[in-house]
Homo-oligomer: A and B are copies of this chain.
Amino acid sequence: VSVALNGLPDVQAGLEGRGVELDEVGVAGLSLPVQVAEPDGLQSTVASAEFTVALRPDVRGTHMSRFVELLTEAPALDAATLAATTRRARSRLDADRARLIVSFPLFVERIAPTTGMRAPLRYDASFEVIDDESTTSVWLGVDVPITSLCPCSKEIADYGAHSQRGRVRVQARPAELGALSLLDLFAAADTAGSAPVYPLLKRPDERAVTMTAYDNPQFVEDIARDVAVAMRDDECVAEFFVEVENQESIHDHQAIARVRWARP
């Protein structure tokens, strides 16, 4: 057991003989108030963070308080800031790799299709940074509510068609840092269902949304593919992962689709 500057034993720095390198050691579920810098401005929100480093076989423990210090020092969050914070963790904790995930709700102003009434729509977003000696990768992520209407149900029934709420999750790694925004991912997800979701609809709006969804039936597979095509066609995207979940209204389980892709 070595002794640190403050005169107390440093148990974490002690000898370690099991010969096991740990891939990740750190903190999770740390909640903190943040500001997120997006192209359309700065949003104040509340984040949950997971922050880890790799731990070499010969070191017993990491210094968990460093993660909290580094996170509370970070200014307004964007991909570049968080990449720098992650690199700092790797350096200060003398580790081969570091990883940071910060997740938070964001809001876009949603305009009702007929009356034009406005209200904030929530989506969930995240940044994930993976940093090692050779590269720093940053992934952007969104989780967006949508409506889906079942093409099979519409085709086989004489009238009606079941619809349901769904979630579209997109994670993408831009070819260059800053080439993609969370709003870009939101837009790809938001337009892939049978209709978007609205916090505020008056009757004429509800009429429009109902008919839009009926006119655009989408299987969970269709939604995943439409988002995949949008990502593939965007030169700024180097790699992506899409997950769609339809909360089927005729079942008590979900229909899901997933696709992962990297630009060749």
- Which A residues have a C-beta under 8 Å from some C-beta of B? 1, 4, 6, 8-12, 16, 18, 20-33, 43-46, 50, 52, 55, 60-62, 64-65, 68-69, 72, 105, 107, 117-122, 145, 147-153, 155-165, 195, 197-204, 206-207, 209-211, 213-214, 219-222, 224-226, 228-229, 232, 245, 247-260
A55 CB contacts on chain B under 8 angstroms? 221, 257
A9 CB contacts on chain B under 8 angstroms? 152, 155-156
Closest 7 CB pairs of A and B: A160-B214, A44-B44, A157-B210, A145-B252, A30-B253, A31-B122, A24-B258
A165 CB contacts on chain B under 8 angstroms? 164-165, 247-249, 252
Q: List 7 A-B contacts (CB under 8 A).
A: A27-B253, A27-B254, A28-B255, A64-B255, A160-B160, A165-B252, A199-B251
CB contact under 8 A between A256 and B24, given known A1-B155, A30-B199: yes
Beyond contacts A69-B200, A145-B252: 11 other A-B pairs, Cβ-Cβ < 8 A, are A9-B156, A24-B259, A27-B256, A28-B245, A33-B107, A65-B200, A121-B252, A163-B249, A164-B165, A165-B249, A199-B252
Distance of A126 Cα from B180 Cα, bound (Å): 36
The one of B18, B152, B209, B228 that contacts A225, using a Cβ cutoff of 8 Å: B18
Minimum CB–CB distance for A241 against chain B, Å: 9
Cβ B62 vs Cβ A32 within 8 A: no
Distance of A124 Cα from B22 Cα, bound (Å): 24
CB contact under 8 A between A23 and B260, given known A152-B206, A207-B157, A229-B18: yes
CB contact under 8 A between A204 and B6, given known A23-B258, A257-B22: yes
Minimum CB–CB distance for A199 against chain B, Å: 5
- Copies of this chain, complex-wide, total 4
Cβ A25 vs Cβ B256 within 8 A: yes
Closest to A115 in B: B6
Distance of A210 Cα from B153 Cα, bound (Å): 7
Distance of A46 Cα from B34 Cα, bound (Å): 11
CB contact under 8 A between A25 and B221, given known A32-B107, A165-B252, A228-B20: yes
A31 CB contacts on chain B under 8 angstroms? 105, 122, 252-253
